[in-house]
Structure 1
Amino acid sequence: MSLVKQLSLAICFVLAVAFAGSFMINLQHSRVQLAAQLQSHADDAASALALSLSPHLADPPMIELMVSSMFDSGYFSNISIRSAASGRTLFERERVSSELPAPLWFSRLADLEPKQGQALLMQGWQQFGEVQVTSDPHLAIESLWRAATQTLVWLLVCASLTSILGVALLRRQLRPLDTMSRQAEAASRREYYQLDPLPRTRELRQIGATLNLMSSRLKRLFAEESALAEQLRRQAFEDPLTALPNRLAFERALASALDDDAPAGAVLALRLNGLDEQNQRIGALAVDEQLHRLAAPLRVLGEEYPHWLCCRSRGGEFLILVPGSRPAELEAIADRLGALALKLDWANVANAIPVSLGIAGYRAGDQRGAVLERIDQALARSQATANGLQPGMIEADTLDVLGKLSADAWRTMLSEACERGGFVLHFQPMKSLSDGSTLRHKLLTRLPLGDDRLLPAGEFLHRLEKLGLANAFDRCVLTMALAQIERQPAPIAVSLTARTLLERDALSGIHSMLAMRSALCRWLTIEIDIRRVSPGPELIAQLQRLRALGCTLAVQHCGRDLSSLANWAVLELTYMKVDADYIRDLDSEPSRRLYLHAMIGMARQLELPCVAEQVQTDAELATLTELGFQAAQGNAVSVPSAWPALTPA
């Protein structure tokens, strides 16, 4: 129970006790006063009647008339005259009434008994008899009941108004506590904001100032840790001269691009030949300046296409990894690179430095060494031509039949699959590294081809987005996932395409679809590719709506920009997946462990379990366990398969 409720109940209890006590004291005081009045009234009436009857003792009709006159006033229940000589009753009037002017329980509680008054009846100097007058308590009980009810109503009104005003004032005074509580909860999620304005109450103002100081210090510490992690990443994966990714980063990205689920693509290479000679001719500083000039537009190109990787391999060699590329795109990029190279200023050298361009294709399943060899062959072929700006091109070993399909053919095939749910679902378990238990199953989509082949999602996802079918694909996959959960409930993780996440109407449609089957949403985890999506306020609000349905949220492909993790943490993520680029060959390249260790430290501060994706070898798995990863997914854990081959969590 909240503090406001506890204090409100305490205020109401104190007021109830106070008003109840006041009511009982007032009631008791009124009862005693009425009892005294009844007794006094009876005594006065007996004395007055005795004095009035003394002159008329010899006239019985007059005595009866005077007694009846007093009795009929209604204030008495009995009037009697007794003889002093014989003791017998000479005259008596008595009222018998069964009706009570108040409830029986109140009459018993009031306990007002009839009061009797006596007076001597004198005839001359001799006692003639005795007058006894008994007051009727019904009128006193009626008066006491009326006063009690009016007092009770008044006290209840006062108590209610006082309670309402007291609770309202209490809530207003303690409202800063709610803000402080939210500020503390936000700090646990690495959201740091200042409490402004500070409360007026001195004690709360001191607490607020302390929380603001703590929040600012934690924010600074987290920023410093993020900066340190980013510095370690740059040292490991960035070329210090051009600020482009280095060869190690390229090899890691290429290894991920050759996975079975990745699309086919190409590597564009630009090599500045004779760079050593230019170092001697114009100096290293001048050469470095030209490399800077060439790297700047490549950095812009990498920002325009986040899923591409533009890097400096070594010396004057630059490589661009282009997944899911088409021949027209490759030629346009090659022309762009050639134009950039021609704009370099080599200190008025008569013959510009020779430039070689190469394009090497690759497909899923190719060996990394084979692709690197194709790059060298393509550059050699370009260098051998009369015009060095003519790119040499080496195709991938396997002929890509699907690449020759027209856009209309792709649209027809993918549209039909989305409409009829024609995809094949495979599942890959995500297992805990501590006890080996299955935490959830990652859903992997396959497109069946006519020759009994299954096309991995990486081969057609980029085409779905280009054809505007990404939202239809996501709805289809989610529908199939919910159907699987309905058949056999178990946690399933599904990735949404970047196009759906970036389109407000598309994401609203996903929300409406899931809302109709909200009972199944608690088994569903939605993974977000943070390489292609930024945590804007509108997207965060939309994802919060999905989370309100019962879905859990997670981020994948983490590692390039750790500073954004704090922005994603507001969604109370279930886990974060570290990109395979940082996992590949981790056991044989210890230089990356320091960066991963810093990444895990940041994740622990955010209370985010770290999951390694695309783990391929047992050696990588052992290294991940040693570093402190909580879970892993990949062929080293379990190969993807249809659902019956899996054991549900």
Structure 2
Amino acid sequence: MSTPSHRPPDPGSLPREEAARTHELQDLQARLRECGEALALAQAQLRQETEARRVAEGQLRHLAEHDALTGLPNRRVLELCLQQATVQAREQGRLAGVMFLDLDRFKNINDTLGHLMGDRLLQRVAERVRRSLRSGDTVARVGGDEFAVLLPGLDGPAEAARMAGQLIGEVSLPYEIDGLELRLTPSVGIAMFPGHAESAQGLLDEARAAMYQAKAQGRGGYRFFSGHDDLLSSQRLLLESDLHRAIERGEFELHFQPRYELGSGLLCACEALLRWQHPSRGSVSPVEFIPLAEETGLVVAIDEWVLGECCRQIERWTAKGLEICPISLNVSARQFRSLNLLGVLDRVLGETGVDPRLLEVEITETTLMHNTEQAVATLGQLHGLGIKISVDDFGTGYSSLAYLKRFPVDLLKIDRSFVHDLVSDPDDAVIVSAIIGLARSLQLRVVAEGVETREQVDFLRRRGCDEAQGFLFSRPLPPAQLEPLFNRRY
């Protein structure tokens, strides 16, 4: 019996079968590519639609929470922030403040020059107010020419007073719009929590009431809310009375904070800082009494005492045979603008015989920009005496670089608010680097304030900063404790 035999496949059929399978595979791959492209297109369209919806929702949320003209938060956002701030104040045992700001005689500008000009002026005011505040503060537009500012985490009423004074100074400087120079002043009312109202709406109402009290006093100033039994007001009046007598009673003294060259490590200058030892209250913080001195005009007499005491202290050190460094002292805006500054300097230098090259005058950006022609003339006369000029708290104001080139200044002092986080905050690092670069381009020395860590020193040295001062090197010291530091490296 024979077994069946398997016939081999036809050689001609193999290529046809393989070709068919290859064709099917190519078709399948083409369909897969088409499906993949369609899916990718659908995903891209979905992403675009999602992003467009996200942007639209963000725009709607922004419109619901912000003023359309100035871009500031509106009253609704402010009240929510106020509620949170009062809760935090209770938990942390600190204060929260509200400033209510109204622009004096804004209606006259609006009626005379038109609403378009008025709107542009409001935008500029809003920008200045925003720039003058701390990072955690909130400013909102709550009416036509009315703004409210939330100040959380305050240590005391004096801090709110200082910020109000700074805000008034910023807003009161001239505005140039379309070739016109416009001027206006704000009146500011302040209410504190706890101490005044216990609710967000109550704080706003009382701050507004205090603002009207400020207007009644003559506009361009600030007032705390005060009822008949307001403890803050009575304490402030007592402090003002004591401040009047502090000089004649010998209650002021100077401490000196060393400043060092980062390259050599040598002591190169010391900043004179005013201290008030009250007979019953003890040490009174400058944050508390300096704004009061500025508001009452006593700052001029205090400045004159500081200048005289600086020169007398230099005279005492010289008599001991000490090789001393220059002493820098802060001059208030009111003193700098007075016609008496140069006369006081000439008298004190004549009485003490101090070399003017051992003095350095510190003024703020805002002071420089108030009346540039007078500032240039005054600085020129100070330079003519051999006194160096430094711009204090540089970066916190808004000085024009075109103006800065005209001022005969020697140093820029970087404000401590930028130095504090420069190692961890890229924005602060960029600002500090830019100020150092600006100083170098203008052939000015640059000083960093508030230096507290070695990392900050390393950063500043790498960027080419010339000098630094801060708690890392030394706290402000009374004269006797400073003497051993002369001619020593840090």
Q: TM-score, normalised by structure 2?
A: 0.54
**What is the CA distance between 1:633 and its match in structure 2?**
1.3
- Determine whether 1:556 maps to 2:381: no
**What is the CA distance between 1:323 and its match in structure 2?**
6.0
**What is the CA distance between 1:360 and its match in structure 2?**
5.5
Q: Which runs of 5 or more structure 2 residues have no equivalent in the other structure?
A: 1-66, 74-93, 101-117, 143-147, 152-156, 169-188, 209-224, 319-323
Asked if the contact 2:99/2:150 (under 8 Å) is kept, the reply is: yes
Q: Give a deviation string over 1:92-143, Cα, whole Å, max 9, x none.
A: xxxxxxxxxxxxxxxxxxxxxxxxxxxxxxxxxxxxxxxxxxxxxxxxxxxx
Asked if the contact 2:331/2:361 (under 8 Å) is kept, the reply is: yes
Cα distance in 1, alignment partners of residues 270 and 312 from structure 2: 15
**What is the CA distance between 1:555 and its match in structure 2?**
1.0
**What is the CA distance between 1:430 and its match in structure 2?**
0.8
Cα distance in 1, alignment partners of residues 123 and 256 from structure 2: 38
* Percent identity of paired positions between Structure 1 and Structure 2: 27
State the match for 2:338 in structure 1: 503
- Determine whether 1:430 maps to 2:259: yes
Q: 2:98 aligns with which of 268, 276, 285?
A: 268
Letter in 2 for 1:513: V
Change in Cα spacing, 1:294 to 1:566, as seen in structure 2 (3 Å) is closer
State the match for 1:546 in structure 2: 382
Q: 1:592 aligns with which of 428, 437, 445?
A: 428
Secondary structure of the corresponding residue to residue 599 of structure 1: helix
Q: Give a deviation string over 1:528-558, Cα, whole Å, max 9, x none.
A: 1113442522232223222222221111111
Asked if the contact 1:613/1:634 (under 8 Å) is kept, the reply is: yes
Cα distance in 1, alignment partners of residues 131 and 339 from structure 2: 21
Secondary structure of the corresponding residue to residue 593 of structure 1: helix
Change in Cα spacing, 1:453 to 1:312, as seen in structure 2 (3 Å) is closer
Secondary structure of the corresponding residue to residue 597 of structure 1: helix
Cα distance in 2, alignment partners of residues 452 and 467 from structure 1: 21
State the match for 2:468 in structure 1: 632
Cα distance in 1, alignment partners of residues 133 and 465 from structure 2: 27
- Determine whether 1:449 maps to 2:274: no
State the match for 1:345 in structure 2: none
Letter in 2 for 1:574: D
Asked if the contact 1:430/1:439 (under 8 Å) is kept, the reply is: yes
Asked if the contact 2:255/2:478 (under 8 Å) is kept, the reply is: yes
State the match for 1:143 in structure 2: none
Change in Cα spacing, 1:526 to 1:582, as seen in structure 2 (3 Å) is same
Asked if the contact 1:421/1:476 (under 8 Å) is kept, the reply is: no
- The two structures, once aligned, show a CA RMSD in angstroms of 4.6
Cα distance in 1, alignment partners of residues 419 and 231 from structure 2: 32
Secondary structure of the corresponding residue to residue 504 of structure 1: coil
Cα distance in 2, alignment partners of residues 472 and 514 from structure 1: 17
Q: 2:403 aligns with which of 557, 567, 588?
A: 567
Secondary structure of the corresponding residue to residue 607 of structure 1: coil
Cα distance in 1, alignment partners of residues 452 and 459 from structure 2: 12
Change in Cα spacing, 1:298 to 1:480, as seen in structure 2 (3 Å) is farther
Q: May I ask how many residue pairs the two structures share in their alignment?
A: 323
**What is the CA distance between 1:523 and its match in structure 2?**
0.9
Q: Which runs of 5 or more structure 1 residues have no equivalent in the other structure?
A: 1-238, 246-263, 271-292, 334-356, 362-373
Q: Give a deviation string over 1:395-433, Cα, whole Å, max 9, x none.
A: 9xxxx99864353x4344223322354312111111112
Asked if the contact 2:278/2:284 (under 8 Å) is kept, the reply is: yes
Letter in 2 for 1:576: L
Asked if the contact 1:470/1:497 (under 8 Å) is kept, the reply is: yes
State the match for 2:269 in structure 1: 440
State the match for 1:471 in structure 2: 300
State the match for 1:527 in structure 2: 362
Asked if the contact 2:140/2:149 (under 8 Å) is kept, the reply is: no
Cα distance in 2, alignment partners of residues 390 and 468 from structure 1: 27
- Determine whether 1:608 maps to 2:438: no
Q: How does 1:187-226 map to 2 (within 5 A)?
A: none
Cα distance in 2, alignment partners of residues 412 and 314 from structure 1: 33
Q: 1:405 aligns with which of 213, 221, 235?
A: 235
**What is the CA distance between 1:359 and its match in structure 2?**
5.6
Q: 1:484 aligns with which of 309, 313, 320?
A: 313
State the match for 2:349 in structure 1: 514
**What is the CA distance between 1:485 and its match in structure 2?**
0.3
Asked if the contact 1:558/1:578 (under 8 Å) is kept, the reply is: yes
Cα distance in 2, alignment partners of residues 402 and 391 from structure 1: 14
State the match for 1:643 in structure 2: 479
Secondary structure of the corresponding residue to residue 270 of structure 2: strand
**What is the CA distance between 1:495 and its match in structure 2?**
0.4
State the match for 1:184 in structure 2: none
